[in-house]
Amino acid sequence: MVLVIESESTLRRHVVKELEVIGTTVTSISRVSELERWPHGEIVITDFKHFTPFWLTAGATHIIVLTDCAAEGADACRRGALTWVPHASAATLIATLGELGSRRGIATGAAPAQLALTAGAENQ
């Protein structure tokens, strides 16, 4: 199961669509306050503006940060993110998740991965 938390509805719909195309079951919300549980054992994806290493404290296994430039990505990685992806590149995000899933033995197709996508999440 994938959880998408994105305050920008157009981007959220695009990410959800891309994930559903690869066979992933997706739940999407617009802000962190709508979370029913913390992402324990899951991957968190968030934009740079809302990135915090707190996701690791909350139980996330990895953080992937969506950024507008390489400098933001490098900064996020220095602060604990696993990697970064250009904010407007859903295809790159899907490829990154697939690569990470392969390394971790996660199935991203028929058996959905447990990923928490928080692109653009509002910290509340």
Number of domains in the chain: 1
In this prediction, residue 72 carries a pLDDT of 93
Give the integer Cα–Cα distance in Å for 54 and 33: 15
Q: Residue 27 maps to which CATH number?
A: 3.40.50.2300
What are 76-123's pLDDT values in tens digits? 999 999 988 887 777 787 788 777 766 654 433 322 233 444 444 433
Do the domain assignments include residue 42? yes
Do the domain assignments include residue 124? no
24-39 mean pLDDT: 79
Give the integer Cα–Cα distance in Å for 66 and 107: 22
What are 32-67's pLDDT values in tens digits? 888 888 878 777 777 787 788 988 998 888 888 888
What is the band of 6 on the pLDDT scale with cuts at 50, 70, 90? confident
Domain that holds residue 81: 2-118
